[in-house]
Amino acid sequence: MSVSGTKGPDELMLAKRGYTLDQAIGEGSYAKVYIADYTDPKNPTKKQRLACKLINGAQAPKDFITKFFPREVEIMSRVTHPYVIRVHSILQRKNKYFLFMQYCENGDLLDFIRNNGAVDEKQSRQWYSQLIRG
């Protein structure tokens, strides 16, 4: 995340809690998604690859930060289902919000179709069923 190679205040805060951000894998108007690694500070052998959605509150619309984002966080924190991405943790530093969640190494469905072409009917039915159940 740091251009100069030295850790800034955000990276230091994350590192204290066991998180490091790697390459960006997605970007929107006021958020970026990074691959992240987590090492449990209490158990250094426990490591996880995560995705981190970093929302810049200074760039986001006010109604998003005050209305939609809190609702998204509440719902994401409460949902536990095998076909829905799980939240690992949520951190805030000043006007930046870090949502750490399960990382799906195979990407999303659109990426899959772009890379592999059309999906056969049997596979489509299975994935559609999983989407509906999620």
Q: Are residues 20 and 84 part of one domain?
A: yes
Residue 3 lies in a domain: no
- Check whether residue 66 and residue 86 sit in a common domain: yes
Count of domains forming the chain: 2
**Which letter does DSSP use for residue 78 in this model?**
H
- Asked if the structure places residue 17 within a domain, the reply is yes
Q: Is the pLDDT score of 2 beyond 90?
A: no
Domain hosting 66: range is 9-103
Q: In the predicted model, what is the mean pLDDT of residues 45-60?
A: 95
If asked whether residues 73 and 28 sit together in one domain, one would say yes
Q: Backbone phi, then psi, for 71, in 5-degree steps?
A: -65, -45
Q: Say whether both 64 and 21 belong to one domain.
A: yes
Annotated binding site: 53
86 shares its domain with 29:
yes
**Residues annotated in the binding site for ATP, as ranges?**
53
68-113: pLDDT as tens digits: 999 989 998 898 899 889 999 999 999 999 999 999 988 888 888 9
pLDDT at position 1 is 52
pTM more than 0.85:
no
Judge whether 2 lies within some domain.
Answer: no
User: For position 15, which CATH number holds?
Assistant: 3.30.200.20
pLDDT score of 117:
94
**Rounded CA separation 103/37 (Å):** 10
- Kindly state the average pLDDT of the residues 49-56: 96
Q: Report which of 33, 55, 45 is spatially closest to residue 107, judged by C-alpha positions.
A: 33
User: Who wins on pLDDT, 107 or 5?
Assistant: 107
pLDDT tens, residue by residue, 6-28:
678 999 999 999 999 999 999 99
From CA 121, how far away is CA 69, in angstroms rounded? 36
